Amino acid sequence: MSDPSEHGGAAGGTSERGLPGAGLVKGLAVTLKTMTSRSTTQQYPDVAPELPPRSRGVIALSEENCTVCMLCARECPDWCIYIDSHKEEVAVPGAARPRQRNVLDKFDIDFSLCMYCGICIEVCPFDALYWSPEFEYAEYDIKDLLHDKDHLGQWMATVPPPPAHDPNGEPAKEETAAARKAAAARPAPPAVRPEPGADPGAAS
């Protein structure tokens, strides 16, 4: 014997589905509410949009901070970062032999392949890459979306300053290391010598 609730009688079907046309009325109510409310239109490009502080626009390069460690190029999931460098010797006074350092020759980012994941910025250990909120760099030719190190360096002027540190948050690693170094360099207080005839265990 079948369950009558499966077929849904006249009363049961009305209670579950509601009144005929109720969905249409709800949809028209949303449409009417939207039609009667005032629309907000941003007059771009005459008025610049107010972007959030952590918006992702274009990637800027601080060339003097780059040590050619290749971390950004290796971690990029799209392989859109191209780096080339050479080694040169630097004479250090007092050293037995000159040292070698990497000199950045080429640093290109192909923004036609970039998916703006930000991995390259996160893994950079020397703060050479930054997010810039600038997004107006569309081109008519896709080949012009390949930005070289000079072009990426120009975006550094648009990088916003970092937010102020929260006084209730944890101190920065640099501050902690500086305080630890200062405490280690501070001379230890002189030991207090016990007076002649005093009991050595009295102080403890």
pTM: 0.62
Close Cβ partners of 56 (under 8 Å, ≥ 6 residues apart): 116, 118, 131
Residue 198's CB: how many other CB atoms inside 10 A? 10
Extract long-range pairs of 8-14: CB within 8 Å, 24+ residues apart: none
CB burial class (10 A; 0-12, 13-18, 19+) of residue 199? exposed
- pLDDT value at position 191? 67
Cα separation, 168 vs 170, whole angstroms = 7
Residue showing tokens 């080949």? 143
* DSSP result, 10-46: HHHHHHHH-STTHHHHHHHHHHHHHHHSPP----TTT
Residue 154's CB: how many other CB atoms inside 10 A? 15
166, two tokens: 């929260």
How much of the chain, in percent, has pLDDT values that exceed 90? 47
Interval 98-125 mean pLDDT: 94
- Nearest to 111, CA basis, from 144, 158, 71, 133: 144
Residue 100's CB: how many other CB atoms inside 10 A? 10
Interval 72-95 mean pLDDT: 91
| Structure confidence at residue 202 as a pLDDT band (50, 70, 90) | low
Residue 147 CB-half CA count within 13 A: 19
In this structure, which topology does domain 58-158 adopt according to CATH?
Alpha-Beta Plaits (3.30.70)
Is 147 in a helix, a strand, or coil? strand
Residue 117's identity, in one-letter code, is C
pLDDT digits (tens, 9 = 90+) for 3-52: 555 555 454 444 456 788 888 999 999 999 888 888 888 888 898 888 88
- pLDDT value at position 169? 81
Q: Is the pLDDT of residue 197 over 70?
A: no
2, two tokens: 């079948």
Which segments of 77-187 does DSSP mark as H helices, in order?
119-123, 149-154, 173-185
Residue 156's identity, in one-letter code, is M
Q: Is the pLDDT of residue 152 over 90?
A: yes
Question: Hey, where are the domains in the chain?
Answer: 58-158
Q: Is the pLDDT of residue 172 over 90?
A: no
